[in-house]
């Protein structure tokens, strides 16, 4: 049986191991020893599309969706002249637009799936080196060979620098995303996106009385208000949700924002996946949706290759993966970047933007296209 190595135990590494583990291959998942400590402190949430939600439910035979909060409607607002205006409402009658889940709960589900799979071995050791020429890894002076090595080690990893020697699409937004959980006693059941003067703010409900906030703000504004950021956020939430009754605000986490789209996906039999492959602005919530579609395509290619009796290391899997996934990853990544720029305050652009937003709800094709791309991505 052929064997692959997945390095990294974040959500990308875990979902890759769980999905690829259903193919006729063996997997070594190299896992961080600190993962359990980190996951307990992780109060972030993630949104996935209806199409990706159904794929995961079917793939893992999950009978219950109690960890996934459905949202049939997404309301979009923008700030103009100190007023919050609703410019677009996306709604579905028979399906949901998205499902929202808490990261730590999702990780526990995937952990259980991985532990039950005898073809997946969890290795709690640090990788010292990846040998691209031989398709092997070095761990404490021991060499291990694999048919495929998948790097899910995040944006700042040194392990794949030999793959990304060519120019990539990169941008430092000079913004910081702050995220927390707010408990409340109000009626907030569907997702909302606000384009505010300080930056885009998303509200993602995951229960009847709790929602996650992701607010992307200028790094300078964050530095100036760091000590009072909880009060600043609370005041902003009370402004946009006038009748909200806040019970509590959880610890606030923050992280810098970048655009990073790789131009090279692989070298020999070593592939990058997850944030290391594409890091996009969180505004549209497309990051993990792209990861799921990446893993889905890789799983399809591996399944076909193994069934034909071809060795993964001798196949065109990674080239086919690159050709099929790079267009959508780049188009969506750059599209989100342009959307973020569109809502930035600019004395030349803002008047045109305001006129457009006041009339966009009259164009049904905009709603249809937005829902289709958010749900199924872009077919190239």
Region 192-218: mean pLDDT is 95
Q: How many CA atoms lie within 13 A of 311 on its CB side?
A: 5
d(CA 59, CA 269): 26
What pLDDT is attached to residue 35? 52
Note whether 371 and 97 are within 8 A (CB): yes
Q: Convert the pLDDT of each residue in 222-281 to its tens digit.
A: 999 999 999 999 999 999 998 899 999 999 999 999 999 999 999 999 999 999 999 999
In angstroms, the Cα distances linking 172 to 63, 176, 258, 280 are: 42, 10, 5, 11
Task: Write the DSSP assignment of 252-294 as a string of letters.
Answer: -EEEEEEEEE-S--EETTEEE-GGGTEE--GGG--HHHHHHHH
Q: Convert the pLDDT of each residue in 30-43 to its tens digit.
A: 987 655 545 456 67
Parallel, antiparallel, or unpaired for β 278-279 and 253-261? antiparallel
Note whether 159 and 7 are within 8 A (CB): yes
pLDDT band at 378 (very low <50, low <70, confident <90, very high): confident
Residues 6+ apart with CB under 8 A from 259: 169, 170, 171, 173, 279, 280, 281, 333, 337
pLDDT band at 149 (very low <50, low <70, confident <90, very high): very high
Region 144-155: mean pLDDT is 93
What pLDDT is attached to residue 190? 92
Top mean pLDDT of 159-173, 284-298, 366-380 is at 284-298
| Residue 165 confidence (pLDDT) above 80 | no
Among 95, 99, 74, 88, CA closest to 188: 74
Report the chain's C-alpha Rg in angstroms. Answer: 21
* 377 or 315, which is more confident: 315
What pLDDT is attached to residue 41? 60
27 CB burial (10 A radius; 0-12, 13-18, 19+): buried
Q: Convert the pLDDT of each residue in 69-88 to its tens digit.
A: 999 899 999 998 888 999 99
- CA 188 remoteness from chain centre: 23
Share of the chain above pLDDT 70, in %: 96
Q: Minimum mean pLDDT among 93-102, 131-140, 213-222, 358-367: which range?
A: 358-367
Domains of the chain in start order, with CATH, are 3-67+119-170+259-376 (3.50.50.60)
Count of all residues that appear for the chain in the document: 380
Residues 6+ apart with CB under 8 A from 119: 1, 21, 25, 26, 27
d(CA 56, CA 19): 9
What pLDDT is attached to residue 37? 45
Parallel, antiparallel, or unpaired for β 98-102 and 69-71? antiparallel
Give SS3 for 123. Answer: strand
What pLDDT is attached to residue 365? 76
Q: How many CA atoms lie within 13 A of 28 on its CB side?
A: 21
Parallel, antiparallel, or unpaired for β 129-131 and 69-71? unpaired
Region 212-221: mean pLDDT is 96
């Amino acid at each position: 049986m052929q064997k692959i190595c997945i390095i990294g135990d974040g959500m990308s590494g875990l979902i890759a191991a769980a999905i690829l583990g259903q193919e006729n291959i063996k997997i070594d998942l190299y896992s961080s020893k600190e993962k359990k400590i980190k996951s307990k402190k992780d109060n972030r949430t993630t949104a996935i599309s209806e199409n990706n939600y159904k794929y995961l439910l079917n793939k893992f035979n999950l009978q219950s969706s109690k960890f996934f909060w459905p949202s049939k409607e997404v309301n979009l607002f923008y700030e103009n002249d100190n007023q919050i205006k609703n410019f677009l409402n996306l709604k579905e009658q028979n399906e949901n637009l998205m499902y929202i889940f808490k990261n730590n709960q999702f990780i526990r589900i995937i952990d259980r799936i991985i532990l039950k799979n005898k073809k997946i071995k969890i290795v709690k050791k640090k990788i010292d080196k990846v040998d691209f020429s031989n398709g092997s890894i070095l761990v404490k002076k021991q060499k291990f060979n694999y048919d495929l090595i998948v790097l899910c080690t995040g944006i700042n990893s040194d392990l794949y620098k030999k793959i990304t020697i060519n120019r990539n699409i990169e941008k430092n937004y000079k913004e910081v995303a702050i995220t927390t959980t707010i408990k409340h006693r109000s009626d907030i059941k569907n997702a909302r996106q606000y384009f505010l003067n300080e930056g885009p703010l998303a509200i993602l409900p995951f229960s009847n009385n709790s929602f996650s906030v992701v607010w992307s703000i200028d790094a300078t504004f964050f530095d100036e208000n760091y000590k009072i950021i909880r009060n600043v956020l609370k005041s902003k939430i009370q402004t946009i949700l006038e009748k909200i009754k806040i019970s509590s605000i959880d610890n606030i986490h923050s992280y810098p924002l970048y655009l990073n789209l790789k131009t090279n996906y692989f070298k020999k039999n070593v592939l990058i996946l997850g944030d290391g492959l594409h890091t996009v602005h969180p505004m549209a919530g497309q990051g993990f949706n792209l990861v799921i579609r990446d893993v889905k395509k890789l799983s399809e290619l591996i399944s076909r290759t193994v069934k034909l009796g071809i060795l993964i290391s001798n196949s065109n899997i990674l080239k086919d993966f690159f050709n099929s996934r790079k267009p959508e990853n780049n188009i969506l990544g750059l599209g989100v970047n342009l959307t973020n720029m569109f809502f930035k305050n600019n004395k030349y652009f803002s008047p045109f933007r305001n006129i457009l937003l006041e009339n966009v709800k009259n164009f049904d094709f905009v709603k249809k296209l937005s829902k289709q791309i958010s749900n199924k991505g872009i077919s190239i």
